[in-house]
């Protein structure tokens, strides 16, 4: 079909509806848009992005039939599967309509989708449309999933406890302990199937990773040997994309006003991202650790992130009084702005991939408290490969207080801050003309444009 002069080629994006997945997809879309592509976002009704934040995109809602379901169900394997089943038909109809309107509305170049939305592959194959997978995690995480699948295939799970500290032979930066799922107990078949599906790129023509060569070089090299399609490490996308709101939750901007009144590098920022949940005991120990550390803090406690509590009603008595002068608690913060604020000197994080990149982009050293999945892998890299973080070894108040003092005050913390600032500079270079991520993005643009030439 011929191209109409002046019509931009169109890229259709299908994000998985979690904050950590939607953000990089929208960032990718906005960079592609600035490089001459029209962007359509097909999204579930659950956690749908706000079209007003992206007037340049076309939004197509997919009926996921999940309204009324608990978020915990939606995030379960059953929920993800239901989302895939329920969205497929409407997505197929949208794509057929879009193809019928070609070339007047621009040719569809390809569909970029999150690997968890695998229904896209079936629709695209049926319509003979090329697809590209966007993975919102690190290359090391993808390799670690492949490793679990291999261990299972070799009948090595459950692994004896004493092997946990051993380095993984084919991935020596990680120990068995750092795999994203514990391998010392049987792993249910359904989970192995899920890992296999998530690690599989199906018939995609390429893989986009929100990572940079300087962070993930070894894993990228190994992945490129494994997958026969091009891999484009184009991160950190948040540094490349124009600034716009991607938050699904309203940000409390009073946190910035509060930070404006604090001394440079004095504040510990705390957030466990959009999904992780802690128990009441952990919240209480955190509170006492913070109180005893004497350190100013900005603490994001997401509603329902403490099991059995709506918000912060189970904070210990006396905590508020002790920390009133130096603490600020909010439900959700403008995290990227917070990390860029001169008052912030450290980040206590669950080590989600977006948070990891956002912190490194601002040269902020971290305390890692991983909960599950890629957070465990990221923690190992942050603490032992990039050396910009320390891992919280104890969830007791004393251990927490010591970790905070080490990060914010000690020689150890100062060294990590130096390394983090160096990493910030290197990441900045990687996205500038001639840098590895910049080059990779150029190649990606050429690759996607080739579908409609």
Examine residue 241 and tell whether it contacts ligand UDP (CB under 6 A). Answer: no
Structure tokens at 320: 């508020």
Q: Give 60 or 333: the residue with its C-beta nearer to ligand UDP.
A: 333
Structure tokens at 401: 């207080």
Among 293, 335, 379, 430, binds ligand UDP (CB under 6 A): 335
Q: Give 375 or 402: the residue with its C-beta nearer to ligand UDP.
A: 375
Dihedral (Cα; 121, 127, 128, 134), 10-degree rounding: -30
* Shortest spacing between CB 275 and ligand UDP, in angstroms: 4
* Shortest spacing between CB 20 and ligand UDP, in angstroms: 2
Among 110, 300, 403, 416, binds ligand UDP (CB under 6 A): 300
Among 354, 383, 402, 440, binds ligand UDP (CB under 6 A): 354
Q: Give 105 or 335: the residue with its C-beta nearer to ligand UDP.
A: 335
Cα dist from 81 to 16, 85, 108, 324, whole Å: 12, 6, 27, 45
Among 180, 235, 273, 296, binds ligand UDP (CB under 6 A): 273
Give me the 364-403 binding string for ligand UDP, x by CB under 6 A, dash otherwise.
----------------------------------------
Q: Give 142 or 151: the residue with its C-beta nearer to ligand UDP.
A: 142
CB 365 within 8 A of CB 388: yes
Tell me if residue 131 falls in helix, strand or coil: strand
**Chain centroid to CA 258:** 27
Beta-carbon contacts of 268 under 8 Å, excluding residues fewer than 6 positions away, are 290, 293, 295, 296, 297, 298, 344, 345, 346, 347, 348, 367, 404, 407, 408
Examine residue 135 and tell whether it contacts ligand UDP (CB under 6 A). Answer: no
CB 255 within 8 A of CB 338: yes
Q: H helices within 105-182, ranges in order?
A: 119-127, 139-153
Examine residue 333 and tell whether it contacts ligand UDP (CB under 6 A). Answer: yes
Determine the Cα–Cα distance for residues 424 and 386; give it in Å rounded to an integer: 11
Examine residue 355 and tell whether it contacts ligand UDP (CB under 6 A). Answer: yes
Q: Give 159 or 248: the residue with its C-beta nearer to ligand UDP.
A: 248
Q: Give 110 or 315: the residue with its C-beta nearer to ligand UDP.
A: 315
* Shortest spacing between CB 271 and ligand UDP, in angstroms: 4
Among 43, 118, 135, 336, binds ligand UDP (CB under 6 A): 336
Looking at the DSSP assignment, which residues form a beta bridge with residue 309? none
Looking at the DSSP assignment, which residues form a beta bridge with residue 114? 134
* Shortest spacing between CB 404 and ligand UDP, in angstroms: 19
Examine residue 275 and tell whether it contacts ligand UDP (CB under 6 A). Answer: yes
Among 271, 323, 379, 430, binds ligand UDP (CB under 6 A): 271
Q: Give 23 or 144: the residue with its C-beta nearer to ligand UDP.
A: 23
Cα dist from 373 to 302, 378, 390, whole Å: 20, 9, 18
> Stretches 91-99, 164-172, 348-356, 420-428: which one binds ligand UDP (CB under 6 A)?
348-356
Cα dist from 330 to 235, 250, 434, whole Å: 29, 11, 40
Q: Give 20 or 61: the residue with its C-beta nearer to ligand UDP.
A: 20
Determine the Cα–Cα distance for residues 438 and 431; give it in Å rounded to an integer: 5
Helix (H) or strand (E) holding 12: strand 10-14
> Stretches 183-191, 226-234, 329-337, 422-430: which one binds ligand UDP (CB under 6 A)?
329-337
Determine the Cα–Cα distance for residues 112 and 131; give it in Å rounded to an integer: 6
Tell me if residue 361 falls in helix, strand or coil: helix
Among 235, 345, 352, 435, binds ligand UDP (CB under 6 A): 352
* # binding residues, ligand UDP (CB under 6 A): 20
Structure tokens at 88: 């497929």
Beta-carbon contacts of 222 under 8 Å, excluding residues fewer than 6 positions away, are 143, 170, 171
Q: Give 354 or 440: the residue with its C-beta nearer to ligand UDP.
A: 354
Strands 366-368 and 297-300: what pairing? unpaired
Give me the 10-49 binding string for ligand UDP, x by CB under 6 A, dash otherwise.
--------xxx--x--------------------------
Q: Which residues bind ligand UDP (CB under 6 A)?
A: 18-20, 23, 247, 271, 273-276, 300, 332-333, 335-336, 352-355, 358
């Amino acid at each position: 079909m011929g191209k109409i002069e002046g019509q931009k080629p169109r890229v259709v994006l299908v994000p998985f509806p979690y904050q950590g997945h939607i953000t990089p997809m929208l960032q990718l879309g906005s960079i592609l848009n600035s490089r001459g592509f029209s962007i359509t976002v097909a999204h579930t009704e659950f956690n749908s992005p706000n079209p007003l934040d992206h007037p340049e995109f076309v939004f197509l809602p997919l009926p996921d039939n999940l309204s009324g379901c608990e978020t915990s169900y939606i995030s379960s394997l059953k929920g993800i599967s239901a989302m895939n089943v329920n969205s497929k038909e409407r997505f197929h109809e949208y794509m057929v309509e879009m193809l019928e309107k070609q070339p007047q509305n621009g040719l569809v170049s390809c569909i970029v989708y999150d690997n968890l939305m695998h229904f896209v592959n079936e629709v695209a194959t049926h319509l003979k449309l090329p697809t590209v997978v966007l993975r919102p995690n690190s290359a090391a995480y993808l390799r670690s999933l492949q490793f679990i699948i291999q261990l299972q295939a070799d009948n090595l799970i459950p692994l004896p406890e004493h092997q946990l500290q051993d380095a993984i032979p084919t991935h020596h930066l990680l120990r068995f302990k750092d795999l994203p799922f514990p391998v010392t107990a049987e792993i249910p078949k359904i989970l192995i199937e899920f890992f296999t599906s998530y690690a599989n790129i199906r018939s995609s023509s390429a893989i986009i990773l929100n990572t940079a060569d300087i962070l993930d070089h070894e894993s990228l090299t190994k992945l490129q040997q494994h997958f026969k399609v091009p891999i484009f490490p184009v991160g950190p996308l948040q540094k490349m994309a124009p600034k716009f709101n991607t938050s699904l939750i309203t940000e409390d901007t009073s946190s910035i006003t509060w930070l404006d009144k604090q001394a440079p590098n004095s504040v510990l920022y705390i957030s466990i991202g959009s999904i992780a949940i802690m128990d009441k005991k952990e919240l209480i120990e955190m509170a006492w650790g913070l109180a005893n550390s004497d350190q100013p803090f900005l603490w994001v406690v997401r509603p329902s992130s403490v099991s059995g509590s709506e918000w912060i009603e189970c904070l210990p008595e006396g905590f508020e009084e002790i920390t009133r002068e130096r603490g600020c608690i909010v439900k959700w913060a403008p995290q990227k702005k917070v990390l860029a604020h001169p008052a912030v000197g450290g980040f206590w994080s669950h080590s989600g991939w977006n948070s990891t990149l956002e912190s490194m982009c601002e040269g902020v050293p971290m305390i890692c408290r991983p909960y599950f999945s890629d957070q465990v892998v990221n923690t190992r890299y942050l603490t032992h490969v990039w050396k910009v973080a320390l891992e919280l070894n104890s969830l007791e108040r004393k251990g927490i207080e010591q970790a905070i003092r080490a990060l914010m005050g000690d020689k150890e913390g100062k060294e990590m801050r130096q390394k983090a600032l160096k990493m910030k500079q290197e990441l900045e270079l990687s996205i500038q003309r001639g840098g590895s991520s910049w080059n990779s993005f150029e190649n990606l643009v050429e690759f996607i444009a080739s579908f409609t030439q």
